[in-house]
Structure 1
Amino acid sequence: MTHSCGLDFGTSNSTLGRVNAHGVPALVPLEGDQQTLPSVLFFSFEEDRLFFGRAAIAEYVSGADGRLMRSLKSVLGTALFADTTRVKSRRLGFGDIIGTYVGELKRRAETALKTELTSVVMGRPVHFVDDDPVADQEAQGQLEAAVRAQGFEEIAFQFEPIAAALDYERQVSGERVALIVDLGGGTSDFSLVRVSPERRGRADRSDDILATAGVHIGGTDFDRLLAMSRVMPELGLGSRTRDGKRHLPVAPYVDLSTWHRINRLYDAKAQRDLRSTIREAREAEKVETFVALVEERLGHRLIGAVEDAKIALSDRDAVSFLFAVREHQIATEMTSAQLADALAPSIERLERTISEILRRAGVSAGQVDSLILTGGSTLVPAVAGRLSGLFPEAEIVRTDVLGSVGLGLALEAQRIFGA
Structure 2
Amino acid sequence: MKKYNSYSTYQPSSVEWLGEIPLHWEIIRLKHICWRAANYGANESSESYLEEGVRFLRTTDIDDFGNLSSDGAVFLEDSKVADYKLDDGDILISRSGTIGRSFLYSKDKHGECAFAGYLVRFSLREKQLPKFIFYFTKSRAFLDYLGISIIQSTIGNVNGQKYANMSLSIPPLTEQKYIVSFLDRETTRIDTLITKKRELINLLEKKRNAVIAHAVTKGLNSNASMTDSKIEWLGKIPEHWKITRLKFISPQITVGIVVTPAKYYVDTGVPCLRSLNVKQGKLMYADIVFISSESNELHRKSMIFEGDLVVVRTGQPGATAVVDKRFHGANCIDLIIVRQSPYFNSHYLSYLANSDFAQTQFELGSGGAIQQHFNVGTAANLQVLAPPIVEQQEIVSFLDKKLSQMNNLINKVQKSINLLQQQRSALITAAVTGKIDVREEVKRGTA
What is the TM-score with the length of structure 2 in the denominator?
A: 0.26
More strand by share: 1
Structure with a larger share of its residues in helix: 1
Give the TM-score of the pair, scaled to structure 1.
Answer: 0.27
Bigger Cα Rg? 2
